[in-house]
Amino acid sequence: MSEMMLEEAVCLLDASQKAALRKGLGRSTPRKRANEVVASLTGIADFFTSDVDWQEFREAIAADTPELMQESAQEYGDFQTPLSLARAVCQKLFDEGYRPKVLVEPTCGKGNFIIAALETFPTIRKVFGLEIQEGYVAECKARLQATLLSRPELKRQVEIQRGNIFAGALTTTALNTDEGEILILGNPPWVTNTVLSALESTNLPAKSNFKKHAGLDAITGKSNFDIAEFILLQLVRGFTRSHASIAMLCKNTVIRNLVAGTKEQALPISNLRAFAFDAGKEFGVAADASLFVADITNELGAKTCSMSNLSENKPPRVFGWAGKHFVADVARYKKAREIEGVCSVVWRQGVKHDCSEVMELTKESSHWRNGAGEVVNVEHDRIFPLAKSSDLKEHVVTTLRRAMIVTQDAIGEDTTWLKQANPRLWKYLSAHADALDARRSVIYNDKPPFSIFGVGDYSFKPYKVAMSGFYKSSHFSLLPPADGKPVMLDDTCYLLGFDSLGQAAVALGLLNSQPVQDFLKSIVFPDAKRPYTKDVLMRIDLRKVASLVSPTSIRNYLSQLEGAELGFEEADFEFLVSPELLEEQTMFLMERRPAYHAGRRR
Ligand SMILES: C[S@@+](CC[C@H](N)C(=O)[O-])C[C@H]1O[C@@H](n2cnc3c(N)ncnc32)[C@H](O)[C@@H]1O
């Protein structure tokens, strides 16, 4: 390999690929073994043709400065705002009427927000910037120097300090400023405490229950939270007794948590606005994000936030608290809330097994193949057709390629009977016991071998109505039996099980009706990780829906569906008041009472 080719081969690898190679390829590994490792990872034979090639490659993947930088970038949630975006943000704030006298950039990085603010707000008298990374402090100062030398009209009193925001350096008192309106502007780190713990980083606030929420364990490591949320709250508290406003770029989940927190934490903020921008384009981050703007007040402020776009002038929607409910669109919710209640049929999550390699099979012409690519030849009794979120695109689902091994009829049930009844299946599962035993979730501890979760009578009902918890779409799908067997859903889906096709058709018609669709759109945040949850679905009172949606409109809807002839009798509505289901509903309410009334369901 020439030196150039070697360089190119190393350049093409990203940090995680280099790390994977370093793990398998020690410095003293002989070339023969190194070639075996590369062949086992990639299939490429004889990658290193000489000992020199091999040693040079090994040195090149060891000297990995980009990776070191990546790790610190991760630790510091480091996404420097492009100057163009910083300018667009400042222009928006100018248009919103802000004319600050003091600018505070709490984690200023290279200083693009400071430069953009000096260009936009001639009212600024004093600038204060804080940053933890020495390199950025120097770069920020150098860039400001260059800018101010070439544009002396922007000259102001500027102080850029190296420091840690968690040390509490940023408060009105610490800054000792009484020069009028303060704008706290910036882009706090994009990192969660879970990532920081994995990196063994100390770039965290000191342990405290920062949300002042009993039992939340917010900062004990038990729950995942964004560092940005902590920083926003710290700044709001630090600047309460001043004329300050805050404008920060952050993930929409951070803004949502903050607005949701206004109910329990009585935050002194008002005039809450979020202006969405394309975080993928600006930062290469796959998350929905916005500029969050709020005025810090002396009184307890708003419980809702308006949401619009940074670059377009569309009318905003308002999300936040509507009475005791936290909703995605307050105006829409007020129109759609007629059906809010408790569903008379309890929604269930699909089967959880955490081992798709072993438990999920794909149909090939005459046999099944598992996720590891092995042919699986076992008895068919415990193999059921499987639908995942991606199978629920149509309103009626009739084609399924996958299947699932269902080892139990109910949670915790003994499985050893399978040894006699399904000896080939038992042998197959035993041969993969290592993979099944390695499942990390504690729910599998001390359970019968090859246990699964999310299984019960409802799983074996022949007709299902289901929806994906992960997808943005709010439509529901009907799944009739496939190959004469009830369809199982995986744990990304929620389902209702029915004994008759008529009942399932009624449920499908009610759930895909306008009142339910409007209601879901008003309460659900489609950009949440799992927009639809059991708690969301349990809020749909199907009896109230049935009083608003006529049987004729359900028939009209069903007649347009492809895939099955769907009809129903009057008696098919009776499941809505079946004593058996009402008993389940009561159980649900008793189990959920405290959380259900707390109102926080996202
Ligand atoms: C998302 S970047 C944004 C930088 C800059 N505000 C901008 O908009 O371009 C976050 C910045 O926070 C800095 N940072 C991370 N942790 C910090 C801490 N504990 N105290 C002060 N700055 C910190 C990082 O070094 C990084 O420059």
Note the pLDDT of residue 21: 77
The atom of ligand 1 lying closest to the CA of 112 is 9
Residue 78 CA to ligand 1 center (angstroms) comes to 6
What's the pLDDT at 11?
64
For the cut 80, the answer to whether the pLDDT of residue 590 exceeds it is no
DSSP bridge partners of 404: 360, 384
Residue type, position 375, single letter: V
The whole-number pLDDT of residue 207 equals 57
Mean pLDDT of all residues in the chain?
Answer: 87
Q: Name the fold adopted by 75-254.
A: Rossmann fold (3.40.50)
201 lines ligand 1 (CB under 6 A): no
Question: CB of 107 closer than 6 A to ligand 1?
Answer: yes
Sheet holding 348-349, edge to edge: 348-349, 493-498, 463-468, 477-479
Residue 47 CA to residue 413 CA, distance in Å, equals 51
Assign 2 a pLDDT band (cuts: 50, 70, 90): low
Asked if the model's pLDDT at residue 72 lies above 50, the reply is yes
- Strand extents, DSSP E, 19-138: 102-105, 126-131
Tell which one of 103, 131, 201 to mutate to probe ligand 1, the residue whose CB is within 8 A of the most ligand atoms: 131
Per-residue pLDDT tens over the stretch 104-127: 999 999 999 999 999 999 999 999
189 CA → ligand 1 middle, Å: 5
What are the residue boundaries of the structural domains of the chain, listed by start? 3-63, 75-254, 348-598
Which atom of ligand 1 approaches the CA of 165 most closely? 20
203 lines ligand 1 (CB under 6 A): yes
| CB 166 less than 6 A from any atom of ligand 1 | yes
Q: What is the pTM of this model?
A: 0.77
Name which residue sits closest to atom 12 of ligand 1, judged by CA. 107
Token pair 């981050």 is found at: 285
130 CB less than 6 Å from ligand 1?
A: yes
How many angstroms is it from 245 CA to the middle of ligand 1?
Answer: 19
Any atom of ligand 1 within 6 Å of the Cβ of 109: yes
Whether the CB of 234 sits within 6 Å of ligand 1:
no
502 CB near ligand 1 (under 6 Å)? no
Helix axis angle for 65-75 and 15-24, nearest 10°, is: 120
Rounded to 10 degrees, what is the CA torsion of 84, 86, 91, 97? 180
**Average pLDDT of span 433-448:** 86
The tally of CA atoms less than 13 A away on the side-chain side of residue 558 is 23
Give distance in angstroms: CA of 105 to centre of ligand 1.
Answer: 9
The atom of ligand 1 lying closest to the CA of 86 is 8
pLDDT, position 338: 96
Q: Judge if the beta carbon of residue 245 lies within 6 A of ligand 1.
A: no
Tens of pLDDT along 191-229?
A: 888 888 778 888 888 754 454 444 434 433 446 788 999
Interatomic CA distance for residues 127 and 43, integer angstroms: 57
Regarding the beta carbon of 283 and ligand 1, being less than 6 Å apart is answered no
CA 571/CA 137 separation, integer angstroms: 73
For the sheet with 402-405, list strands across it: 375-376, 367-370, 360-364, 402-405, 383-387, 488-489
Distance 243 CA to ligand 1 centre (A): 24
For ligand 1, whether the C-beta of 225 sits within 6 Å is no
Written as six digits, the tokens of 305 are 């936030």
Model confidence at 598, in pLDDT bands (50, 70, 90)?
A: very low
The per-residue pLDDT for 442 is 82
By DSSP bridging, strand 102-105 and strand 126-131 are parallel
Model pLDDT, residue 5: 62
The answer on pLDDT for 602 being more than 50 is no
pLDDT tens readout for residues 92-105: 999 999 999 999 99
CA of 108 to the centre of ligand 1 (A): 6
- Beta-strand ranges (E) seen in 259-354 are 269-277, 289-296, 304-309, 317-322, 325-327, 348-349
Tell whether ligand 1 has an atom less than 6 A from the beta carbon of residue 108: yes
Instruction: Please give the pLDDT value at position 119.
Output: 97
> Does any ligand 1 atom lie closer than 6 A to the CB of residue 117?
no
Give residue 289 CA to ligand 1 midpoint distance, Å: 17
